[in-house]
Amino acid sequence: MNVGTELESHLRVGDIVFTRIGGPPFRQIADATRTWTNHVGIVVGFNCFGAIVAESRVPLSRRTRFSSFVRRSVQGRVAVLRLPRTLTDEEVGRLRRSMKRRLGRFYDTGFNLHSRRQFCSRFVREVLQESTGEVIGEVQTFRELLERNRGTDLRLWNLWYFGRIPWDRATVTPGSLYTSRSLQVVFDGTVTQCSRGTSSGGAGGDEP
């Protein structure tokens, strides 16, 4: 049995899917939070290809097939977490409306919780909160985040912010969502490539 396909068959709307993206600064994001994950999306529905995940990614926030979403993860590492209850029909409706309002927004490379742009953990946190009232993840300043792990290499962060790390900027990380006590683990491990919905089109098979 294909692990990715089997996992997909157990997904529900509102499930939160964590992956790991290679390359800087995403590796450093995981290092700074002392977790393996640095990217996250949320299941918003299903179609003939399977589950659909909404995510904030470069360059624009969008919907992505679950199979494509997990295929991008380094070494197939994936986790699925969810609230300890099933969402009501009303909550599912609110979740989809909240998600649609955020589609097409540019990715925020500054990871600013209060900017007009989006980044992945903010996207998921706000969609879930608006639709269910549940608050996950921890809002931190860059100072709080980086000082928790004093071994963090600041060279890339200094380069990323042109020598001016925004120490007092509020942000929220995939790692803080992943460690939230409000969520239950559905799956946390390695998946093989899904057999459904993997055909490539002009957009790499991402758009449902």
Q: Is the pLDDT of residue 201 over 60?
A: no
pLDDT top residue among 29 and 186? 186
pLDDT at 193 (0 to 100) = 63
Its pTM stands at 0.90
Asked if residue 168 has pLDDT above 70, the reply is yes
Q: Is the pLDDT of residue 29 over 90?
A: no
Q: Which CATH superfamily is domain 3-190 in?
A: endopeptidase domain like (from Nostoc punctiforme) (3.90.1720.10)
pLDDT tens, 50-71? 999 999 999 999 999 999 999 9
- Within 8 A by CB and 6+ apart from 88, the residues are none
pLDDT beyond 80 at 24: no
Cβ burial of 23 (10 Å; 0-12, 13-18, 19+) is: exposed
- Whether the pLDDT of residue 26 is over 90: the answer is no
| CA–CA distance, 79 with 95 (Å, rounded to integer) | 21
Residues above pLDDT 70, as percent of the chain: 91
Alpha carbons 42 and 19: distance in angstroms, whole number: 11
> Is 192's pLDDT higher than 90?
no
pLDDT (0 to 100) of residue 81 = 98
% of the chain exceeding 90 in pLDDT: 76
